[in-house]
Amino acid sequence: MSKPLRLVFSFVLLVVPLHGANAQNIAFAPADAALLEACMANANTNAVHARSACIGAARNVCISEPDGTTTLGTTTCNQREAAWWDKLLNDNYSRLRSALSPELFSALRDAQRAWITYRDAKCAFSYKMFEGGSIRHVLFSDCMMQTTAARAIDLTTILLDWMG
């Protein structure tokens, strides 16, 4: 690879979002939403295990697109799916705010704050472990997607299975 091309590639990797909040700047595609919504709708009668099978479904389709298996492509695919799970998580959180008693919602809010700290530390570790290598972007974005999806499913379970 020529030096100018390496410099451009390095710059592109630097602008790949590295923090969870930045993943929200990458919008999920309508096809991502349709796929994940259908998967979750089909899984809703089978609770957590079936819902968990939806994690990665849109990313897997995305990485089959041209350049999807490059570092930037896979990172973007992870971020696109993470954005959908983050929206579901926030929608569920808002619904729970309305549905729970103030005491229960306060406990949920405390749990959510602790979860955010956990997610950020967990995914930062994945990034730090491979510092200096481009795989860190893929691992970080995958961690954010997987961890956010699992929490969104937790809140979905509370809404659908526990509160009916």
Per-residue pLDDT of the chain (164 residues; tens, 9 = 90+): 455 444 333 333 334 444 443 444 678 888 889 999 999 988 866 566 789 999 999 999 999 999 889 999 999 999 999 999 999 999 999 999 999 999 999 999 999 999 999 999 999 999 999 999 999 999 999 999 999 999 999 999 998 877 76
Residues in the chain: 164
Question: How far is the C-alpha of 127 from the C-alpha of 18, rounded, in Å?
Answer: 9
The per-residue pLDDT for 129 is 94
Question: How far is the C-alpha of 93 from the C-alpha of 17, rounded, in Å?
Answer: 25
List the one residue out of 74, 70, 79 whose CA is nearest residue 18.
79
**φ/ψ of residue 66, rounded to 5:** -55, 135
* Its pTM surpasses 0.75: yes
Question: How far is the C-alpha of 28 from the C-alpha of 146, rounded, in Å?
Answer: 15
The per-residue pLDDT for 22 is 44
